[in-house]
Amino acid sequence: MNLDKTFLRAEAGGSEKEGIMNLDKTFLHAEAGGSEKEGIMNLDKKKICILLLGGTIACVPTEDGIEVISLTDFCRQFRELDGLKIAVDDFKKLQGVETRMTDILEVAEEVKRLILEEKADGIVIVQGTNLMEEAAFAIDLLVRTEVPVVCTGAMRPATAPSADGAYNFIDAVMTAASDNCRGMGTLVVMNGEIHSAQYVRKEHTLNLNAFTSEFMLGYVAEHVPSIRCRPVLRKIPEIVIEREPADVLLYTNYACDTGRILDHVLDMGYEGLVLEGTGGGGMPGWIREKFEKIHEKIPCVLASRTGHGDIIFSTYGYALQQQLCEKGVCLSGMLDARKARMLLSLLLSAGFGREEIRRVFMQFSKFTPI
């Protein structure tokens, strides 16, 4: 879609044209010419592009099931966004769980194109929440920019009482328009909270505060971002995808695990393995033996199924994790297993070798200087 023709809010004084609404008002009485009063965000002429992937926020129930609608009419109703130039692209219309790696790669390429062609001062990606934490992290890895890129969605459908989609959407757009949010990597804005794609996790099936972080970056107060801290920007080489996405298995070690499925990982054609160990990355000896044999053939990463904290090295008097590390197994560091799996898949798809992969994962380790 040509976003040049989909602006819903034109510059002050602009005439109405096909596909353009003349809404020449400014937000919160911001003066013409871009001056800024105390306590007022300067939104004059900011270009914000909205890319739809789908998800609950854009789904409505029908007699035949669920339909993903266009966001164009959805955007027009919000007077809070007056003063911005909003461009909407119904890029994909997916139910969240149907998102494939190729969909994520395509939206990342579109984000890069919009930024390269200077068509956006900020970008909002509207998507389902089920896979948002992984998709946002992938976009964070693939897109290097100072331009704010913000992911958002909804926990409740638009037809539900107290639906949250509209509020999340406005907060996300205002975050993408904020100069204070430049250079922070990809962000996730949900329930009035601003999270880094590096840290965010969905940890509840229904609650509006389902998205949490060990280190939340800030809040959105009255649709104005209030930043409390900034994320560490890791020194990761540019990731350029060269082939079809690599298939990486995520395996969880559980109580009384026999590990039988690990005997078939190589035969099934997986190109990498992320193993969630218990606690600080522990596993029984018979699982370790299978894990090491797999690592001889394909890159492997050790994570913790707790989802928080670093892989331990010496606590409790054994050094399993350190020994695996010395054999070349990557440790997930501060990344949970889902993000570690996404990172490994992207690195393999970009042609990174084992040593290059190990150095990238070290960027997320407590041992690497910031």
Look-up of token digits 């990597």 = 185
Q: Which listed CATH number (3.30.1330.10, 3.40.50.40, 2.160.10.10, 1.10.760.10) goes with 248-362? A: 3.40.50.40
Cα gap 165→72, rounded to integer Å = 14
Give residue 317's pLDDT: 62
Burial (0-12, 13-18, 19+ Cβ within 10 Å), 315: exposed
pLDDT, tens only, 80-125? 888 899 999 988 877 778 889 999 999 999 999 999 999 999 999 9
Q: What is the DSSP letter of 179?
A: G
Give residue 122's pLDDT: 97
Q: How many CB atoms lie within 10 A of CB 99?
A: 22
Cα gap 305→278, rounded to integer Å = 6
In the predicted structure, residue 261 carries a pLDDT above the cut 70: yes
Cα gap 137→345, rounded to integer Å = 12
Asked if 206 and 157 touch (Cβ cutoff 8 Å), the reply is no
- Say whether domain 3-227 belongs to CATH 3.40.50.1170: yes
Cα gap 95→66, rounded to integer Å = 8
Mean pLDDT of 148-155: 96
Asked if 290 and 259 touch (Cβ cutoff 8 Å), the reply is yes
Mean pLDDT of 258-278: 96
pLDDT, tens only, 333-362? 999 999 999 999 999 999 999 999 999 999
In the predicted structure, residue 262 carries a pLDDT above the cut 90: yes
Q: What's the predicted TM-score (pTM) here?
A: 0.86
Token pair listed for 80: 């809070």
Provide DSSP, 50-86. EEE-BSGGGEEEETTEEEEPPSHHHHHT-GGGTTEEE
Asked if 99 and 131 touch (Cβ cutoff 8 Å), the reply is yes
Give residue 235's pLDDT: 85
Token pair listed for 46: 């900011």
Backbone angles phi, psi at 277, to 5 degrees: -80, 170
Q: Write down the domain spans for the chain.
A: 3-227, 248-362
In the predicted structure, residue 21 carries a pLDDT above the cut 80: no
